[in-house]
Amino acid sequence: MTTHQPPADRRLLKSVLLSALVLAAGAAGSYGLAQLRKPPELKAASNRQYNVETFTVQPVDLGEIVNAFGTARPEKEVVLSAQVAGEVSQILPQLKVGLKVKGPRSADPSLALQASIEDSRVENPDGDLLVRIDPSSYEERVAAARHRLSADQSDLNRIEQEEANLARIYEKIVADWEDSEREYKKTSKLREQGINTESDLRRAQMELRQHEKAKVQSHNERDLLPLRREQTQRMIESHTTDLKLSTLDLARTFVRPPFDGVLSTVHVERGQYVRVGEPLVTITADSEVEIPLAVTLDDYTKLLPDVLERRYPAVELAENETSKPRWTGHVVRVSPKADEQTRTATVFIRVENTTQVTPLLPGTFVHARVEGPVLKRILAVPRDAVSNGRIFVERDGKVTQQPVVVSRILNGMALITSGLAPSDRVVLTNLDVLFEGAAVTVSLERSLAEELARQRTRSARLVEPPPES
């Protein structure tokens, strides 16, 4: 029995056979062409040289720099408030923000107080008169206190005179009493002898008792004088205190600056009625400003010993990290405790504006560069020159790779404790293609000062060693 294949299967079989024939023919052609190809000619390898930049290692004294940010604030600023109530009767001409005012020149506060009372001029050695509150009622209180004190003194003088008068009267009463006592004794003897009468004896006895009563009364009056004197002296003390308080209130009608400064706020106008405690003006001292800096605890421990020994570290200040220093100051004190949230401690910088070309205004945000401890005779290389604890060193046009030990990283500089020797030339560029024994050509020699200057934030400074004696 004969089997017939469908036409579709026959077409598929023919297609497969045809593809196999084409592949076989292509492989045979490729093999023949490969046999005709010539092998490439080999050339001798040439010695390639790399252009590199190097850094010569030298032991140096390197001073650390502590970087931090802070906002300047006035060293002294005070809001002068009214200490007495009344109408503002006088103000300093041009009492406006920005006006410079002078404080007292007297070192004795009592002299300044007395001058404020007696001298109402706008300018005097005890400071400019900023505001004057109507003193009429306070002058009357001072006058009344003086009158009371004068009356007390008169009472005291009268007591002194009474004491002298009573002393004389008492002497007369005692003499009369002595005479009366002698007369009574004489009359009593005569009565015993029957010479006089009973009425004579009673009359002598009555006279003696009257003199004794006068003596006792005079003695009692003299005993009351010390009590009256003490009472009067206490009144004098009380009225003296009243006079001092009244004088102080009168002095407070003169509002003067406690120190030299600039008016930063003015709250009062002439004719305005002010009450006790109302602010009048705000004075800001412009001669000194203070900057609190929050530094890490590690930087805090670097600065603390010098501050405690009163070797106040110098500070350079600028508007930002990249700007040149515009102001200078010193770290003068440190906070005794750390911030538990930020884990930082605060150090305080003082800037003397009298020595600055441009004064540092309170409220200015600044970048501070504080001089830290000095690291003696260390080897420092750029941090990028160290890779996996190894470094390339150039000697006679060849490079060698050698291990180094890095003690710490100081921003962009690595401090080397072993593996390098003074005058070694460390390779800084093309580190990704160099290998042991590679030939190099030094195109540029860089110094440590240049490397430090390239840093965006200066972390160290070169310190010149002291001259040898």
Ramachandran area for residue 271 (φ above 0: left; ψ -120 to 50: alpha; else beta): left
Residue with tokens 């598929």: 12
What angle is formed at CA 95 by the lines to CA 90 and CA 100, rounded to 5 degrees? Answer: 125
Q: Which residues of the chain have pLDDT under 70?
A: 1-47, 106-125, 465-469
Do 252 and 83 form a contact (C-beta atoms < 8 A)?
yes
pLDDT of residue 46: 47
DSSP 65-120: EEEEEEE-EES-EEEEE-SS-EEEEEE-TT--TT-EE-----S-HHHHHHHHHH--
Instruction: Give rounded-to-5 percent helix, strand, coil for the chain.
Output: 40, 30, 30
Q: How far is CA 27 from the centre of its chain?
A: 91
Closest residue by Cα to residue 211 from 166, 172, 185: 172
**Amino acid making up residue 246:** S
The span from the CA of 232 to the CA of 317, in Å, is: 66
DSSP 293-350: EEEEHHHHHHHHHHHHTT-PPEEEEESSSSSPP-EEEEEEEEEEEEETTTTEEEEEEE
CATH 2.120.10.70 for domain 76-135+253-284: no
- Cβ contacts of residue 229 below 8 Å, gap of 6+? 156, 159, 160
Residue 353 structure tokens: 């504006």
Closest residue by Cα to residue 294 from 283, 303, 284, 285: 303
Residue 93 structure tokens: 């001409």
Fold of 56-72+287-463: Elongation Factor Tu (Ef-tu); domain 3 (2.40.30)
> Is this structure's pTM higher than 0.85?
no
Closest residue by Cα to residue 81 from 343, 278, 350: 278
Residue 209 structure tokens: 């008792």
The span from the CA of 180 to the CA of 335, in Å, is: 89
Residue 340 structure tokens: 């538990």
pLDDT of residue 82: 95
Ramachandran area for residue 362 (φ above 0: left; ψ -120 to 50: alpha; else beta): beta
Closest residue by Cα to residue 286 from 72, 54, 14: 72
pLDDT of residue 450: 85
Does an H or E element contain 171, and which?
helix 136-192
Residue with tokens 């001259």: 467
